[in-house]
Copies of this chain bind each other. A is one copy, B any other.
């Protein structure tokens, strides 16, 4: 089916492009709502901030996790109220906090004393939650080192927030992007449960648990279903946080919500053999959509029309004059792959166009929506009728 839309898209745009199916986002949103009945969903805008995606999710009732003033402005322009946003970045510009506060945002993430102070000054009386570190095991993209603090320090920060006249709401964690093990969320919730108990004893009544993101997308490895992960989370909450009155649960899916909705479509610019090594170069690379492959993120790849051919080993690289722009150093591609063949990166809707640069003066992939192509087809039909 995607193949049909790729051909249609090629009538109006050149490669590289990210062909995107909004109906998949709707399906993923509803799937998560069903699997996590107790949770409010805050879509992590950074995964893909295209206005069409934001508008759809806003219509479906989603809330939003934002990282900067730039993202907040984008959402406000689309009619999303600040009350539906959580400022989840633990490294905020002071003027961004003030801007958020002015526009109705009352929920902020922190993991350090200084950030508590910045929020207290620029968004007085707001709710804060503290990000607790996890070990990032079982995740393709661990997020632990840079963010989060240990449970004892988290408690101190919540007390400090209270002293600074903020409302200490609770905890967040992030099990790491593309986490393949439902037990990771369980373990993190157990830790959260212990912190909630200790907080209660010291007079702080926490009520917010932010289970973060990390919900996986199908790539080359088998992944657990949203249902399984939801079950693990809900069981862990019942077991470890049963004593919390009116617990508010938040989830922040990013990759999960948009990953499977997009295919990155690229074209072969060159095939060569030098010193016995075979290379294929395509018109997008690590500076033009495929940044995550630098950290060995493995996409499923399809070369259109050559799916059943015998494979051989290649280096796969991008179009720039930069040696870092090598996508995969060892990958199996069809033997006959050649100039102008279409190379598709499956389930590449998240963290691709958001990393776009214009390095080497090269146009990065634009987004093409299947819905747009349908609109064009209607227009074309009208035109044809007029001409007939």
Contacts and interface: CB of A to CB of B under 8 A. Distances in A.
A294 to B, nearest CB: 7
Contact of A359 (B279, B315, B355): B355
A23 interface: no
A271 interface: yes
Contact of A361 (B45, B90, B281): B45
A208 interface: no
A33 interface: no
A149 B72 CA distance: 49
B360 A321 contact: no
Interface string A357-382: 11111110000000000000000000
B339 A324 contact: no
A321, A324, A358 — which one has the most chain B CB atoms within 10 A of its CB?
A321
Contacts of A324: 295
B360 A89 contact: yes
Interface in A81-110: 88-93
A271 B49 CA distance: 29
A124 interface: no
A179 to B, nearest CB: 13
Nearest to A46: B360
Contact of A93 (B269, B295, B323, B325): B269
Contacts of A45: 361
Contacts of A360: 46, 67-68, 70-71, 89
Given A149-B275, A150-B274, A150-B275, A321 B89 contact: yes
Contacts of A271: 112, 114
Contact of A147 (B115, B141, B323): B323
A228 to B, nearest CB: 25
A359 B319 CA distance: 21
A130 to B, nearest CB: 11
Given A118-B339, A146-B323, 14 more contacts: A68-B360, A73-B361, A88-B321, A91-B270, A91-B319, A92-B270, A111-B274, A114-B272, A145-B326, A146-B317, A146-B325, A148-B274, A150-B275, A355-B359
23 contacts: A46-B320, A70-B362, A71-B361, A72-B361, A73-B361, A88-B321, A89-B319, A91-B270, A91-B319, A92-B270, A93-B319, A112-B272, A114-B271, A118-B270, A133-B275, A142-B323, A144-B323, A145-B326, A146-B315, A148-B274, A149-B275, A287-B355, A354-B358
